[in-house]
A and B are shown apart, each in its own frame.
Chain A
Amino acid sequence: KNEVEQSPQNLTAQEGEFITINCSYSVGISALHWLQQHPGGGIVSLFMLSSGKKKHGRLIATINIQEKHSSLHITASHPRDSAVYICAVRFLGETSGSRLTFGEGTQLTVNP
């Protein structure tokens, strides 16, 4: 069964700490998305990657295709980073780019 697992489920950090959120998936993928869901529910796409590493500001996303694992890192975390971070993948063999399978999300709380 095609599955996406995220860890941890909940993460509390102090402002300035380095954060890592992990995502593992069961079979080969063609793309992996990291999404941010705000407290009001809206979803923002942070990264889309199929190999290597991407960086945007204080956010870094890495993926290891052989190990079927991706990480999202936040450097110098800030209270405004508090949100749910969701990993979503497109498994190989899916007929279009549409069917994403989502992880359960990681609730991040950054305290001042």
Chain B
Amino acid sequence: EPEVTQTPSHQVTQMGQEVILRCVPISNHLYFYWYRQILGQKVEFLVSFYNNEISEKSEIFDDQFSVERPDGSNFTLKIRSTKLEDSAMYFCASRLLSSYNSPLHFGNGTRLTVT
């Protein structure tokens, strides 16, 4: 069964450094998402992406964050200057359609640790 893959599984970085989290969504999917989960807290929506542009973003997704789909397969989340509070598990997800009856497929996540 096709799956969403995320790399790396764990990334450690120093405060102030840039990080890029990578995702390969399911190949025929059209809608892409990033979510994050700070340890011990709820999963939170960050951003959705469709047709090569952001369709919606949350209050968390400030100017330090950006997303792109550089080559038609990868979907990346960049954090420009990481802060300690960016430490979290970041999940990529994709779906074929935007409608509510189109299943959402999650990757296994990237655990980001900012020191």
Interface residues of A in 76-112 (CB under 8 A from B): 86, 88, 90, 95-105
Known A50-B100, A98-B31, A99-B58; further 14 A-B contacts with Cβ < 8 A: A41-B109, A41-B111, A42-B109, A43-B91, A44-B106, A96-B55, A97-B99, A98-B98, A99-B45, A99-B56, A100-B104, A102-B42, A102-B43, A102-B44
Chain B interface helix/strand/loop/mixed? strand
Residue A13, interface by CB 8 Å: no
Contact check, A45 vs B100: say whether CB atoms are below 8 A apart. Answer: no
Map CB proximity to A onto B76-105 as digits: 1 under 8 Å, 0 otherwise. Answer: 000000000000010100010011111111
The 9 closest A-B pairs by CB, nearest first: A98-B48, A31-B100, A42-B108, A43-B106, A102-B43, A97-B98, A102-B42, A41-B109, A99-B45
- Chain B count of residues within 8 A CB distance of the other chain: 28
Contacting pair A103 B106 (CB below 8 A) = no
Q: In the complex, what distance in Å separates the CA atom of A65 from the CA atom of B109?
A: 32
CA distance A105 to B89 in the complex (A): 15
29 chain-A/chain-B pairs, Cβ below 8 angstroms: A33-B104, A40-B108, A41-B37, A41-B108, A42-B108, A43-B43, A43-B91, A43-B106, A44-B106, A45-B104, A45-B105, A45-B106, A48-B100, A48-B101, A86-B43, A96-B55, A96-B98, A97-B98, A97-B99, A97-B100, A98-B45, A98-B55, A98-B98, A99-B56, A100-B35, A100-B43, A100-B104, A101-B45, A105-B42
